[in-house]
Copies of this chain bind each other. A is one copy, B any other.
Amino acid sequence: MSDTAAMLRAYPAEINLDLAQLADVIDTVLSCSQTCTACADACLSEDAEMLPRLVTCIRTDLDCADICATTARVLSRHTGYDANITRAQLQACITACKTCGDECAAHADMHDHCRICADACRACEQACARLLTAIG
């Protein structure tokens, strides 16, 4: 549905990575960013008694949304590739997704949005970790 894989195939130079894996990681990271933005907003609409228990979750969602969005940008560029930047940003993304996944998982029983977001963060963490291994 997304153009991510087609755009990788249309890239006019060589990309030294498995394109199917790379497209999947970019889509996963981008989707995780959207889910974290939506989870922060859903937390804000919980009732007044619940809300104060969700402030850490909101903050971690906001960090994770920003870090995933930037990671998707870095992974979408191949010209003048520098492995150090990709590795460091992937590592930041893995850390943010682990922290945000743990935080959302703690509320998953009570809030569907936290359950979905916890799963998205786990999937994103794992996809980034596999790509980091593939990059070496």
Contact = CB atoms under 8 A, between A and B. Distances in A.
A10 B112 contact: yes
A88 B89 CA distance: 8
A105 interface: no
A58 interface: yes
Copies of this protein in the assembly total 4
Counting contact residues on chain A (CB < 8 A from B), the size range is 35 or more
B55 A45 contact: yes
A72 interface: yes
Interface of A: 1-4, 6-13, 26-27, 30-31, 34-35, 37-42, 44-48, 51-52, 55-60, 62-63, 65-67, 69-70, 72-74, 76-80, 82, 84-85, 87-89, 91-92, 94-96, 99, 103, 111-113, 116-117, 120
